[in-house]
A = this chain, B = another copy of it.
Amino acid sequence: MLSDQVKLDFQRRERIGFDEAVLCEWKSVEQIGYILQTAVEAERPLLLTRLTDVKLAALPEKLRKNIDYDPVSRTGFFAAELFVPSHAEVSVVSAGSSDIPVAHEAIRTLQYFGIGASEISDVGVAGLWRLMERIDAIRASRIVIVAAGMDGALPSVVGGLVPGAVIAVPTSVGYGASDNGRTAMNACLASCAAGLAVVNIDNGFGAACIALRVLRDTKAPQYRMLLEAAVRE
């Protein structure tokens, strides 16, 4: 039955340049386990997103042991040997420390595909000097991912200061008029700064994928499956 429900798209890298990731949020533990088993058989590593520690703990130990898990970003690398990038090609900027989980989802996704990222945090517009102290480093990046909740003002400010591709990730941080991130999302889309690329609320993964698409001329995603490790156990 599970084999009828899941059809992994292993041709995706050939088509769009990088592999399918597994969005775990609405999948049952059974489905996730089956997908991992399929990956083992296809000799493919996998990136897992929105994997809670509860679901992780419920996976069979043999599979779980091969997952490099990060609880902050709720991401897992399954059976993947990662190549350490020599320098950062992407800046990941976040407005407040509450936006860290989303920023880390972007950083982990980039890391999985072999792209280095530098992290600049807690530089929201209410204390502009914090951003200004770091702006030269940010300006040097070809791609800048900016995560912000509440008013979503930081991507507009960054977009007016740097020449690189700016990817705005609205976050669900905030209450009341923040509307679970919709205000930040709409503010980024309506930005007075020209040329912001916007993704869904809390979608650090998607922001990283835009970076992958932009960088594909200079960088090929680099990872290899830790096959034996996954099989042996």
Query: A residues touching B (Cβ–Cβ < 8 Å)?
Result: 4-9, 11-12, 15-18, 20-21, 23, 25-28, 31, 35, 72, 95-98, 100, 119, 121-130, 142, 149-153, 156-157, 159-167, 170, 172-203, 205-206, 208-210, 212-214, 216-217
Given known contacts A164-B213, A192-B96, A194-B209, A126 and B203 CB-to-CB distance under 8 angstroms: no
Cross-chain contact of A177 among B7, B185, B213, B217 (Cβ < 8 A): B185
Nearest B residue to A170 via CB reads B176
Taking a contact as CB atoms under 8 Å apart, the answer to whether B25 and A175 are in contact is: yes
Taking a contact as CB atoms under 8 Å apart, the answer to whether A15 and B160 are in contact is: yes
Cross-chain contact of A151 among B26, B156, B194, B203 (Cβ < 8 A): B156
Cross-chain contact of A190 among B161, B166, B176, B194 (Cβ < 8 A): B176
Query: How far apart sit A29 and B33, CA to CA, in the bound complex (Å)?
Result: 31
Taking a contact as CB atoms under 8 Å apart, the answer to whether B165 and A213 are in contact is: yes
Number of copies: 8
Q: Distance (Å) between the CB of A190 and the closest chain B CB?
A: 4
Chain B positions within 8 Å of A192 at CB level: 95-96, 124-126, 150-151, 153
Taking a contact as CB atoms under 8 Å apart, the answer to whether A100 and B5 are in contact is: yes
Chain B positions within 8 Å of A124 at CB level: 192
Q: Distance (Å) between the CB of A95 and the closest chain B CB?
A: 7
Of residues A126, A151, A179, which shows the largest number of chain B Cβ atoms within 10 Å of its Cβ?
A151
Q: Distance (Å) between the CB of A50 and the closest chain B CB?
A: 8
Q: Distance (Å) between the CB of A232 and the closest chain B CB?
A: 27
Chain B positions within 8 Å of A160 at CB level: 12, 15-16, 125-128
